[in-house]
Structure 1
Amino acid sequence: MAVQKHKKSRSKRGMRRSHNKLSDNKFLLINKKTGKKYLYHHITDDGFYKGQQIINKKRN
């Protein structure tokens, strides 16, 4: 098993991980009712999840 001789610095670790960030526009869905974008497995701003209203938010 390979064992490193010296601890990697935070800077080197960050440089290695710099390309691992997910792009923001890949996993966005569009709400059919409002047309707003949202992420998978997240509640929309209106309180909807999978087409059902989970949280009843008052609108002014």
Structure 2
Amino acid sequence: MAVPKHKISKSKRGMRRAHQSLLLNNMLLINKRTGEKNLYHHISTDGFYRGKNILYKVTQNNN
């Protein structure tokens, strides 16, 4: 089992964790169609990815 040799101060622990909050903010983008925030490389809630409809096929009515 891994055991630390020395106590990690609150400052050092905080410095190590500082990047965790920064990563999520940098990975968000604003969807141009809906204005919602999405993660990169993920499909938006309306089924679009990189401007293309992925989830739902567009059908044409020939009436």
- For residue 43 of structure 2, what is the aligned residue in structure 1? 43
Secondary structure class of the residue paired with 2:26: coil
Structure 2: gaps spanning 5 or more residues:
57-63
Question: What is residue 3 of structure 1 aligned with on the other side?
Answer: none
**Which residue is 2:33 aligned to?**
33
Q: CA deviation at 1:20?
A: 4.2
Q: CA RMSD in A?
A: 2.6
Distance across 1 between alignment mates of 2:44 and 2:31: 8
Q: How many residues align?
A: 47
The SS at the match of 1:25 is helix
Cα displacement (A) at 1:17: 5.1
Q: Which structure's residues are more often helix, by fraction?
A: 2
CA distance in structure 1 between the aligned counterparts of 2:43 and 2:21, rounded to whole angstroms: 20
For structure 1, the 5+ residue unaligned runs are 1-5
Q: TM-score, normalised by structure 2?
A: 0.53
Shift of 1:25: 1.9
Please identify the structure whose Cα radius of gyration is greater: 2
